[in-house]
């Protein structure tokens, strides 16, 4: 159990470092991983950051200086394109497929897939869900807890289920 003691000490040291530097608590896995290295590993753009606990599936491209928060799902099974300088807040889910027709047909129909595109300079608020095939224009703002199942024009604000400007 000596290893367990040493590991607990190391975790305590890393937690204190993060608390002192950023005044926050993060998961153990994020204590030992670097968000910028994770993004680089996945081939994301220069200066992009991606928390270690992000679920990344399939073909996902991300532009430079994009921030991907914790507990995000990036589904690229039907191709996902994310621009530069995008902020994807905690808990966001972005999809490129759904299994509605497959499930309802008892497997007779295919899984529906469509490319989803997020433009440059987009902000996506916490716990929002972006459906397959949606295009979000440059510099749009998606409010927290929004369900986006239609295209959003550039420079628009979308909150909940409606475009507000």
Query: Do 26 and 80 share a domain, yes or no?
Result: no
Residue 147 in any domain: the answer is yes
Same domain, 26 and 38: no
56 and 124 co-located in one domain: yes
Is the pTM for the entire model greater than 0.85?
yes
Are 48 and 66 spatial neighbours (Cβ–Cβ below 8 Å)?
yes
Number of structural domains the chain divides into: 2
- Per-residue model confidence (pLDDT) at position 32: 85
Report the C-alpha gap between 131 and 146 in whole angstroms: 11
Predicted confidence (pLDDT) per residue in 48-87, tens digit: 999 999 999 999 999 999 999 999 999 999 999 999 999 9
Chain segment 102-155, per-residue pLDDT in tens: 999 999 999 999 999 999 999 999 999 999 999 999 999 999 999 999 999 999
Domain that holds residue 6: 1-32
* pLDDT for 164 beyond 80: no
Same structural domain for residues 68 and 109?
A: yes
């Amino acid at each position: 159990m000596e290893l367990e003691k040493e590991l607990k000490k190391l975790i305590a040291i890393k937690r204190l470092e993060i608390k002192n530097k950023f005044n926050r608590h993060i998961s153990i896995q994020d204590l030992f991983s670097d968000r910028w290295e994770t993004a680089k590993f996945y081939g994301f753009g220069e200066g992009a950051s991606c928390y270690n606990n992000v679920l990344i599936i399939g073909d996902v491209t991300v532009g430079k200086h994009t921030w991907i928060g914790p507990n995000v799902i990036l589904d690229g099974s039907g191709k996902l394109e994310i621009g530069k300088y995008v902020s994807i807040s905690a808990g966001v889910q972005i999809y490129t497929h759904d299994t509605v027709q497959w499930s309802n047909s008892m497997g007779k129909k295919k899984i529906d897939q469509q490319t989803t595109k997020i433009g440059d300079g987009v902000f996506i608020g916490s716990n929002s869900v972006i459906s397959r095939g949606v295009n979000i224009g440059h510099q749009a703002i998606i409010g927290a807890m929004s369900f986006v199942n239609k295209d959003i024009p550039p420079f628009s604000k979308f909150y909940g289920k409606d475009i507000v400007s």
